[in-house]
Amino acid sequence: MNSIQVPLTKAEIKERKRSESQKKRSELRKNIAKNKMIYLMIAPGLLYLFIYKYIPMFGMIIAFQDYKPYLGIAGSEWVGLEHFKRLFTSSDFWMILKNTLVLFALQILIYFPIPIILSLMLNELRKEYYKKTIQTMIYLPHFMSWVVVVSISYVLLTLDGGIINGLLKNFGLKEINFLLDSSWFRPMYILQIIWREAGWGTIIFLAAIASVDPQLYEAAKMDGANRFRQMWHITLPAIKSVIIILLILKIGDVLELGFEHVYLLLNSTNRHVAEIFDTYVYVAGLRQGQFSYATAVGLFKGVVGLILVVFANWLAKKNGEEGIY
């Protein structure tokens, strides 16, 4: 005979919830005590995020004000969406948006696959000495600032004694003004990113490749698969989830290309192809003192990035892949 289940009273339900809550808190305390060194290790990073990423978010409210520094946030006049209307109706908006999207597309289509290809090539090296030497050589540019990278490019490409133009002149070819010719801005931009960051970008992919089960390669060899087939059918599928996660995170930076690099290459002759949101915010906010307007532009960038990350993550999960959450 089935036993009749007596419904719980409100007091019993409340007591059960309280008991479960206490149990969860107890488990959390035990977990913290057990892994206290790990939590101590990540504490500086969390503190950094809280101080420099979350607390400044309070200042975003000036995007809806006519902010005056001498009046402060509390005393400044509220203007609603006026700064956003100004941004979207500005004659520069579509130019800046186009430039930003083109540079982002170049990063996705040209730069993003290169660390993956480098990782696959490094993984195929059998002699550890050569592998470590090449890794060190391609990592080193990452530790140079963009000031140094752009300065090296200037020395190589300038018309006044530049090595590249010197070689062109020696071969009887016409010299090229790489630094002032707007058509050369985008090739210079993407080549500098590849030279500085491609090696550093291989770290995560090499770590993912190292976790692949060696028995898969042995089984593939027994089936007659050459090294290219092993790479195509074993290595790439094994790191596919890592590639997708990094791609999703990269998509979130669609309007966040980095200020310093572009600003160092920017001049009056290439502004129509080089001006992006980061440099526009700097000029409007710091050089012209339009703090509210610059904040509105920055908020627009953040919202677009958030929407694209959520969409890309949803699209990845819909197609059966792992997302970032």
When mean pLDDT is compared across 14-23, 117-126, 155-164, the lowest value belongs to 14-23
- In the prediction, which pLDDT does 196 show? 93
Q: What is the pLDDT of residues 98-139, one digit of tens each?
A: 999 999 999 999 999 999 999 999 988 888 888 889 988 999
Q: Answer whether residue 188 shows pLDDT above 90.
A: yes
pTM: 0.82
Mean pLDDT score across all residues of the chain:
87
Mean pLDDT (whole number) for 12-16? 75
Q: Answer whether residue 5 shows pLDDT above 70.
A: no
- In the prediction, which pLDDT does 287 show? 84
Q: What is the pLDDT of residues 225-244, one digit of tens each?
A: 888 888 888 888 888 888 98
Mean pLDDT (whole number) for 296-309? 88
CATH topology of domain 87-318: MetI-like fold (1.10.3720)
Three-state DSSP class for residue 136 = helix
When mean pLDDT is compared across 76-90, 144-158, 185-199, 211-225, the lowest value belongs to 211-225
Q: Answer whether residue 253 shows pLDDT above 70.
A: yes
Q: Answer whether residue 205 shows pLDDT above 70.
A: yes
